[in-house]
Amino acid sequence: MLDPNLLRTQTAAVAEALARRGHVLDVQALRSLDQQRKTLQVDLEALRNERNVLSKEIGVARRAGRDTQAEQARAAEIAAAVSDKEGQLTAVLAQWEEWVRTLPNLPQADVPDGPDESGNVCVRSWGEIPRFDFPVKDHVDLGTELGVLDFAAGVKLAGARFVVLRGAGARLERALTQFMLDLHTQEHGYEEIAPPFLANPQSLLGTGQLPKFAEDLFALRDDDFYLIPTAEVPLTNLLREEIVTTLPQKYCAYTPCFRREAGSAGRDTRGMIRQHQFDKVELVQIVHPEESAAALEELTAHAAKVLELLELPYRVMLLCAGDMGFSAAKTYDLEVWLPSQNCYREISSCSNTESFQARRLQLRYRDSDGKPQLAHTLNGSALAVGRTLIALLENHQQADGRVRIPPALRPYLRGEEFLDVRAS
């Protein structure tokens, strides 16, 4: 959530920054609403002051034995007026809060301008794009022929955009998950968390999924819970409404993720690219504001390390203002090479949300003067397990139909060097 003081005192600058994201701020309506707040607060203060003065006068009059009927009548009028003004102020503040919660974060100054992904900038790339001397297969054909991906069973059990992993495919997914968790906890210094896979509305409000993106969430029909769209939600909420004594805090978690994929009809309908349920290892950092820029670079490097150890070519894209997520002030996307599509595809987003989420969460630390201040929060996929599995199958496919297992992953697969039908 944006700083209310910033909205009130630098409205034009905020409007200009939001325009970079394609969001039009109704400045006139904002100022009108704020003026209503100011007027009501001034009126309330005047009424309360009059009430206090009158109360003292009534006390003096009673001690002197004078009749206070007129004063008491006025006191009753003031009490009614105060109650009415308080109700109006509560309504205006609720309207302000509801409006502000729909405003996205402001992009950092070094975020490039652009309306959509066409404005993103490649920061760096890693690895050699593989060259094959045989017809390249996509992960659907590879997985089906190896007997490790069963899309028909996924449709039978749940519907479109679900898949069943069998035998070696299930082991490969589990191996990738364990490999990522070990890397981040043992080498990168994250604390592993096993959170609930359900979240209450307050948690989703805190990280920005609600109210704006309710249509992309799976809600339980008879209970006040949602299936989590990402482990970012529970991890970032761990310290909600707390004053943190030690920074940074670094968490990682494996969870399944559940998304309706609203608005993606017709996109990536083949295979596992865009699923309603997928596994992910998520990283979250909670840091001092002065450290958040460096923390974003670090977190992105931690996610990229997974791809390097798995020998998967990738590039790092700095997202433009028009392509960033709602809560982000700056985002790097990691895109992995997919031979079957002859292009890079997103496999991770790493974002610095600055104090945007912390303000919603009231997640704070104490400064050198002991005063509570808002922390900065960051998050990133490290990585989406299903898309990593896809990239591994396609980039390491062999002419004989097998798939080479990178050395870093072999200890998690009983030392096997290849995935083939016999491994299933």
Binding-site residues for L-serine sit at 230-232, 259, 282, 379, 381
Of 203, 292, 327, 349, the active-site residue reads 349
How does DSSP assign 23-36, residue by residue? Answer: ----HHHHHHHHHH
3-state helix, strand, coil in the chain (%, to 5): 45, 20, 35
Q: Is 71 a catalytic residue?
A: no
Q: Which of 159, 172, 184 is nearest to 380 (CA)?
A: 184
Q: Strands of 20-144 (E only): list them.
A: 121-126
Query: Known binding site for ATP: residues?
Result: 259-261, 346-349
Q: Is 308 a catalytic residue?
A: no
Q: Which residues are annotated as a binding site?
A: 230-232, 259-261, 282, 346-349, 379, 381
Considering 20, 387, 394, 402, which one is annotated as catalytic? 387
Instruction: Give the Cα separation of 144 and 140 in Å (integer).
Output: 6
Asked if 349 is an active-site residue, the reply is: yes
Cis ω before 406 (30° cut-off from 0): no
Compute CA 277 distance to the chain's CA centroid, rounded to the nearest angstrom: 17
Interacting residues of 334 by C-beta distance below 8 A, sequence separation 6+ = 300, 303, 304, 307, 314, 315, 316, 317, 346, 347, 348, 349, 350, 383
- Identified catalytic residue from 259, 359, 364, 402: 259
Give the active site residue among 274, 315, 345, 410.
274
Select which of 191, 291, 311, 346 is catalytic: 346
Are 363 and 239 in contact, with CB atoms under 8 Å apart? yes
Q: Round to whole Å and give the CA distance between 59 and 55.
A: 6
Q: Which residues are known to be catalytic?
A: 259, 274, 346, 349, 387
